[in-house]
Structure 1
Amino acid sequence: MIFGYVRVSSKDQNEERQIKALIDYCKALKSQNIYIDKQSGKDFNRSSYQELKKRLREGDTLIIKELDRLGRNKEMIKEELKYFKDNKIRIKILNIPTTLVELPENNEWVFEMINNILVEVLAAIAEEERNKIRIRQAEGIAIAKTKGKYKGRPQSQLPKDFEKLYKQWKDNGINATQFTKLLGLKSRTTLYKYIKRYETK
C-alpha cells in the first residue's frame, strides 16, 4: 500500500500545499491514506504519525514532501529512517530525488549510499535551522531583560502519559532508558528534571 505523511507546525497553518504535492507525485495515493499532524517536529510523539506507523507493513511505501516534515532532530530522524529500512518500508522524499528512482535490485546499494549521504546533510540542515530559532529566541529574551520587559514564561506541562509511566517506573515495570524513550525525550537528564519537578510539586 501507499501512504503519505504531512506535518505543519501549528493548527493555524495550512497543510493543503503538502497534500497536493504528494497527490501530484503519486495519483495512486488515496486521501484516506494520508496522515496529518499539526504540531512541532521536535519529537515523534504525534498521534497521526504513530497511527501511521501501526498501519505500515513490509513492502509498503511512505511518501513525504520534505525531510523536515518527518521531523527536525537529526538523531531521531536517523532512527526513524532506520526503522523503515529494517522493516522493509520504502520511503520517498520528494526533495531527495534519488529516493524516488526505481532501480534494478543489484544496483540498489549505490543509491542507498547516496541517499545516506543526502539524509545526513539534510537532517543536519533541519537541525541547524531549529538551533537558529533557539538562538534568536535567546537573543530576544536577553534584549527584553535589559529593558526590564521579560517576565519569563509559565512552566511547561509534563509530557503526555508522564504520570502513568512514572508509576510503572517506580514499580520497576520499566527502566529509566525505556521511560525516556516512551516519553520521546532526548536524554535521561531531561527525564530526571521532569521527575524532580513532579516529586516536589
Structure 2
Amino acid sequence: MLIGYVRVSKADGSQLLDLQRDALIESGVDAERIYEDKASGRKDHRPGLDACMKALQPGNSLVIWKLDRLGRDLKHLVATVDDLRERGVGLRVLSGAGAEIDTTTANGRLVFGIFASLAEFERELIAERTRAGLAAARARGRKGGRPRKMDVTMLRMAMKAMADRATNASDLAKRLGITTTTLYEYVNGDGTAKAPGQKLLDGNSA
C-alpha cells in the first residue's frame, strides 16, 4: 500500500499543496491516503506527519515529493528514514535530490542502505559520547544508566495511548522514558501489540 505525505511551510494561503498532491496521486497514491501539514519543517510537532507515521505498516511505502518535505534537518531525516527501514516500510521520493530513492528498485535500495549506514554511524557517535559522559560522571561520583526498557505496565499504557489517532508517538515515548524506536518495536501505530509486545504480554500472563 502506498501512503503519501505532503507539506508546505506556511498556513496563510500563500503556499499550496496542490502540486505535491497531484504528483503523489499521479504516482499511484490514493487521495484518501495522503497526510498533510501546513507548518515549517523545523517544527518538532507536525500532526500530519505523526498520523502518517502511525498509519504506516510493514510492507507499506511512504511516498513524498521531495526529501525536504519529510525531515526537520539532515539528522532528523536520517533517523526518520532509518526508522522506516527498521519497521519494514519503504520510501519513494518523486523529485529533487532524493529522486533516486525508490525501494522497489535496486538503486533505490542502495541509497536507502546509505541512510541506514549514516544512522548507524550516528548511533555509534552517540554511544561513544554517552560512554565518555558516564565515565566522566562516575569520576565525579555520579551514576548513570541505560534508558528504561519496556515492561508490561508501560506496554499496556502505550497500547491504549497509540489506539488514539491523536497521540503523538514521540511525546508518548518521552513520557514513558523510552525511545520512539523502542515504542514501535513493541506497538503498532494502531495500538495493537507487535510480536515482542505480545511475547511480553504472554509471559506476564503465564
TM-score, with structure 1 as normaliser = 0.52
Going from structure 1 to structure 2, the CA distance change for 1:115 and 1:53 (only over 3 Å counts) comes to: closer
CA deviation vs aligned residue, 1:109-157 (integer Å, no higher than 9, x gap)? 64544666999xxxxxxxxxxxxxxxxxxxxxxxxxxxxxxxxxxxxxx
Match of 2:18 in 1: 16
Instruction: Give 1:71-82 correspondences, 5 Å limit.
Output: 71-82=71-82
Which residue of the partner structure matches residue 33 of structure 2? 33
Kept in 1, the 8 Å contact 2:103–2:109? The answer is no
CA contact (8 A) 1:43 1:76 kept: no
In structure 1, what is the Cα distance between the partners aligned to 2:109 and 2:102? 14
Write the distance in 2 (CA, Å) between the matches of 1:62 and 1:47: 16
Task: Give secondary structure in 2 for the equivalent of 1:99.
Answer: coil
Match of 1:69 in 2: 69
CA contact (8 A) 1:43 1:72 kept: yes
Question: Which letter maps to 1:23?
Answer: I
Check 1:29–1:111 CA distance in 2 against 1; reply closer, same or farther (3 A cut). same
Q: Secondary structure at the match of 2:5?
A: strand
C-alpha distance in 2 between matches for 1:78 and 1:38 = 22
What CA deviation, in whole Å up to 9, does each residue of 1:167-189 have, x standing for no partner? Answer: xx9xxx766x97xxxxxxxxxxx
Tell me if structure 1 keeps the 8 A contact 2:103–2:112: no
Instruction: Return the alpha-carbon distance in structure 1 between the equivalents of residues 49 and 103 of structure 2.
Output: 25
Structure 2 stretches of 5 or more lacking a match? Answer: 120-170, 180-206
* TM-superposed deviation, 1:51: 0.9
**Are the counterparts in 1 of residues 91 and 103 from structure 2 also a CA contact under 8 Å?**
no
Identity %: 28
| Superposed displacement of residue 71, structure 1 | 2.3
Question: How far apart in 2 are the matches of 1:85 and 1:4?
Answer: 16
Match of 2:99 among 97, 118, 134: 97
Q: Based on CA coordinates, which of the two structures has the bigger radius of gyration? A: 1
Tell me the distance in 2 between the aligned counterparts of 1:174 and 1:89. 25
Tell me which amino acid in the other structure corresponds to 1:8: V
Q: Does 1:49 align with 2:49?
A: yes
How much is the aligned-residue C-alpha RMSD, in angstroms?
3.3
Runs of 4+ in 1 over 3 A off after TM superposition: 101-104, 107-119
TM-superposition CA deviations, 1:65-96 (whole Å, max 9, x none): 00111123111111111110100100111132
Q: Normalising by the residue count of structure 2, what TM-score does the alignment of the two structures yield?
A: 0.50
**Matching residue's letter, 1:64:** I
List gaps (5 residues or longer) in structure 1: 120-164, 179-201
User: Is contact 2:91-2:101 (8 Å) kept?
Assistant: yes
SS in 2 for 1:42: coil
Aligned length: 123
Q: Which amino acid aligns with 1:99?
A: I
